[in-house]
Structure 1
């Protein structure tokens, strides 16, 4: 039964990590046209085993800003434009963000299926023990 509980903990940590990743992706997509916006990336770390977490459980790390250069946009009428008519755009690439969103969604679904399978197995085990 302990293995099933640790499987539930592992899959729930994976779902939480992917949900956080999806939140950052949606923030990036929403701010793709915001001047000066830097893309956020999510990192994950293995939870320390001695902290009571099952081996393999992930915890969210720090949110990092993408260090790539911001796009230079030419728009002389923009209030942020300099003397040459340029301003700093964002460094968000929508193609990358959509691919990241799909990957995070599929990973979330895989963790959800694992969680559901472990839940069904523990429920079946409890039914067998009741007999």
Structure 2
């Protein structure tokens, strides 16, 4: 039974990490047109707890170090004397792909959690008989 519980804990850990990744991708997509916006990234770490169960933990969000895109728009209020302003450094194609991958990984962890829950429920039903 403890193996089923540890697999459920691993699934929850993965879902938590992927939800953090999906949240940051959503923020980046929403701010893709915001002048001066630096995209955010998240890194993952594997942490082993007291029980010996490895968990995936999302680290603190970090700002992307890519340079900001220079946008030519002479009528923009933030434009300099030459007509340029600093746009964001968010690449929409990369962010959409990351969001899709995070969603699919979340769903895979959810299916693993549901399967472990169903197996533990079946085991308890067998033990009750």
TM-score normalised according to structure 1 size: 0.94
Structure 2 CA distance for partners of 1:53 and 1:15, relative to 1, 3 Å: farther
Give the CA RMSD over aligned residues: 1.1
Structure 1: segments with no counterpart, 5+ residues: none
Structure 2 CA distance for partners of 1:18 and 1:53, relative to 1, 3 Å: farther
Contact preservation (8 Å) 1:47, 1:53: no
Matching residue of 1:54: 53
Give 1:1-131 correspondences, 5 Å limit: 1-50=1-50, 52=51, 54-55=53-54, 57-131=55-129
Task: Give, in angstroms, the shift of residue 77 of structure 1.
Answer: 1.3
Structure 2: segments with no counterpart, 5+ residues: none
Structure 2 CA distance for partners of 1:64 and 1:53, relative to 1, 3 Å: farther
Task: Give, in angstroms, the shift of residue 76 of structure 1.
Answer: 1.2
Task: Flag as ranges the 4+ runs of structure 1 deviating above 2 A.
Answer: none
DSSP-derived class of the 1:73 partner: strand
